[in-house]
Every structure is written in structure tokens, then in C-alpha cells.
Amino acid sequence: MATKTYREALNEALREEMYRDPNVFIIGQDVGKFEGAYRVTQGLLAEFGPKRVKDAPISEMAIAGAGIGAAMAGLRPVVEFMTINFTLVAIDQIVNNAAKIRYMFGGQVSVPMVIRTPGGGGQQLTAQHSQNLENWYANTPGLKVVAPVTPADAKGLLKAAIRDPDPVFFLENLALYNTRGEVPDEEYEISIGTADIKREGTDISLIAHSRMVNVALQAAQRLQDEEGVSAEVVDIRSLRPLDTETIVNSVKKTNHAVTVEEGWTTFGVGGEMAALLADQAFDYLDAPVKRVGGEEVPMPYSKPLERAVIPSVDKVVSAAMEVLA
């Protein structure tokens, strides 16, 4: 296996799928000549030409609409939005059209479209550009929502998303693009709807997605080194459909759970995890589920304040010890 960055893994998945299927094309702002705001589409315009790597005007509603129309006509668009915050301009197209067309057309038409977009804070991009809104989309029947953390997962899930017959909301994270990891050399894809145990443990389950999986892994190592606590790290990886079996089985083994998300906890992903565990693993819990999330304020510009808002390893360790106590 070769070591690649998250960005390189995404680029590789796009290239391979564009070679595999001539119906796959990319559309978004600056995806062509500028090679992507985060260089994910680097080199693809030169390789595949402007018909398959299309620079779009600054109109998220038009980009989403073009993608939906193309998908209904038999193509497989990969729509890139510069950040998840900008998807709000196109939320009517995503939620009221892309997610519902298969149902409203009685299954006669589908929308095999991927929406790629990064979220997250920590880059001093202020309140309107640092949000985590994936739970909004995971709330919508008809949309599949995935949030890979490793380069290998990013490549495998993106390939699966492009091949899927329905719209997939593919969440990235600004802080992950330069992270590195091993990526298999052979052809592979990762099934949408599967969670992953990133670290085995016996005392407590740390349940996270996207960038917060890395925070949970660091917290698990600290708990082992400083407290002798064996923490299992569950990467949700797919928010819709949700792999309830893997999550519930982990907590049945450890009897304790902490959820970790970068977004706000009120009506968040952690709340869904807590409800799931109360419903399906209540008799196995030795303590209430503790939720760790971002402070419930708009993201500050100041770097020290931004650090204080985003969940830290210290906060996860503290929550875990509180649950175990």
C-alpha cells in the first residue's frame, strides 16, 4: 500500500471513476482551470477536457440544478461546493429535488449524483465558513450521507458514492486534506452504510465521525497511557444509512459511551447516537451516554477562541473519565 494524503486519495478516486465510466463528470466553482479550491481536482481538466470537468458560475442553486438534471438524464455528476456553508444556497435543490425525485416519480427516475463539500472549523474562516451541518442532510430521507476520516476511506467511499444510483452527500473536512494514510493499491470500494472500529477496546466506546475520529483516537491513547483505560473508537463513517449494529455491539461490549462531534450537540449526531443506545442497548449501559461537541456559539475568528470552541482531546478524556466514574 502507498501512503497518500486525503486530497490525493480523493483525486485518485475521481480519476479512476472518470476512466471507468464516461458518464462521470465534475462540475463546480474553480474545479477546472484553478484545479479546485483545495486542489482535489488537480490535473483532471488537462486529462479529461472541459466537457467532463466543468467550471460553473458562482451560483450554487444552478450548480445543484445542473447536476440533478444531468443525473436524471443518465449522467453521473460529481458536484463540488466550496464549503458545506454554501450548500445552504442550494438546499432547496438538494432536499426538495435530489432527495425526493426517485420517490415522486415512482421509481422511474433516479438521481445518481455526488455532492462533495468540506465542513469544519479550525482554519480561521469565521462563523459563516466554519460550520458542521451534515446532520441537517442526514435528517433527509432520500439522501445518503457519508463522512470519511482516512485517505483509504475517502477513496473507497467516493468510488462507492459515484457508483450509487441515488444522491450521496459526501462530507469532507478542511483539516483533513493534508492528513496522510495508507491507501490500497488494488481496486476497491467501501460500502455505504458501514461503520468501522478504528481502535479495539473493552472499557468505553468513543463514537465519532469525520475529523473527530482522530481526536477520539488521540483521547483513547491518552486514556490508555495515563489511566489504564481501554477505549474503543467507533467511526460512524456513514450517517445515513447508519450502521446501528456496529455501534450498538461496541457499547454492549464496553458498557459505556461518549459521542464526539465537531458540530453543536443540540439536535446533533451525538443525540441520535444516545437515542439509539437508549433504545437498543439500555440494559448494557452502566452510565448515561455523554456527548462532546462544539461550543454552541458562532465560530470565532480568533485562533485561541476557535481552539476553545472545537472539541479537544482534553474534553474527550474528561468526558470519558466522568462516565467511567
Q: At 57, phi and psi to the nearest 5? A: -70, 165
What's the number of domains the chain is made of? 2
Encode pLDDT of 35-48 as tens digits.
999 999 999 999 99
Helix (H, G, I), strand (E, B) or coil at 197: strand
> Do the domain assignments include residue 280?
yes
Cα 238 off chain centre by: 7
Q: What is the pLDDT of residue 240?
A: 98
This prediction's pTM: 0.96
Q: At 207, phi and psi to the nearest 5? A: -110, 120
> Do the domain assignments include residue 189?
no
Assess whether 176 and 202 both reside in one domain. no
Domain harbouring 267, CATH code? 3.40.50.920
The one catalytic residue in 12, 17, 35, 60 is 60
d(CA 304, CA 206): 26
Cell, residue 315 = 474534553
Encode pLDDT of 77-132 as tens digits.
999 999 999 999 999 999 999 999 999 999 999 999 999 999 999 999 999 999 99
Assess whether 178 and 216 both reside in one domain. no
Encode pLDDT of 52-86 as tens digits.
999 999 999 999 999 999 999 999 999 999 999 99
181 burial (CB, 10 Å; 0-12 / 13-18 / 19+) is: middle
The one catalytic residue in 8, 17, 80, 129 is 129
Assess whether 154 and 202 both reside in one domain. no
Q: Tell how strand 53-55 and strand 76-80 pair up.
A: unpaired
For residue 256, indicate whether it is catalytic.
no
Q: What is the pLDDT of residue 301?
A: 95
Assess whether 33 and 89 both reside in one domain. yes
DSSP 224-291: IIII---EEEEE--EEETT-HHHHHHHHHHHS-EEEEEEEESTTSHHHHHHHHHHHHSGGG-SSPPEE
Amino acid identity of residue 95, one-letter, is V
Assess whether 174 and 205 both reside in one domain. no
Domain harbouring 11, CATH code? 3.40.50.970
Cell, residue 150 = 482516512
Do 234 and 198 form a contact (C-beta atoms < 8 A)?
A: yes
> Do the domain assignments include residue 191?
no
Residues 6+ apart with CB under 8 A from 219: 206, 231, 260, 313, 316, 317, 320
Q: What is the pLDDT of residue 250?
A: 98
Q: What is the pLDDT of residue 72?
A: 98
Q: What is the pLDDT of residue 63?
A: 97
Do 293 and 279 form a contact (C-beta atoms < 8 A)?
A: no
Assess whether 128 and 220 both reside in one domain. no
Assess whether 209 and 176 both reside in one domain. no
Q: At 175, phi and psi to the nearest 5? A: -80, -5
Measured CA to CA in angstroms, residue 173 lies from 129, 177, 192, 321 at distances of: 12, 7, 18, 28
Amino acid identity of residue 55, one-letter, is D
> Do the domain assignments include residue 95?
yes
Which regions in the chain score pLDDT beneath 70?
none
**Listed residues 126, 150, 183: the one ending a domain:** 183
Assess whether 177 and 224 both reside in one domain. no
For residue 306, indicate whether it is catalytic.
no
Assess whether 169 and 38 both reside in one domain. yes
Q: What is the pLDDT of residue 56?
A: 97
Structural domain containing residue 113: 2-183
> Do the domain assignments include residue 190?
no
Assess whether 242 and 136 both reside in one domain. no
Residues 6+ apart with CB under 8 A from 25: 18, 48, 51, 52, 53, 54, 70, 75, 76, 77, 78
Assess whether 201 and 84 both reside in one domain. no
> Do the domain assignments include residue 86?
yes
**Listed residues 128, 154, 183: the one ending a domain:** 183
> Do the domain assignments include residue 263?
yes
DSSP one-letter code for 48: H
Assess whether 11 and 36 both reside in one domain. yes
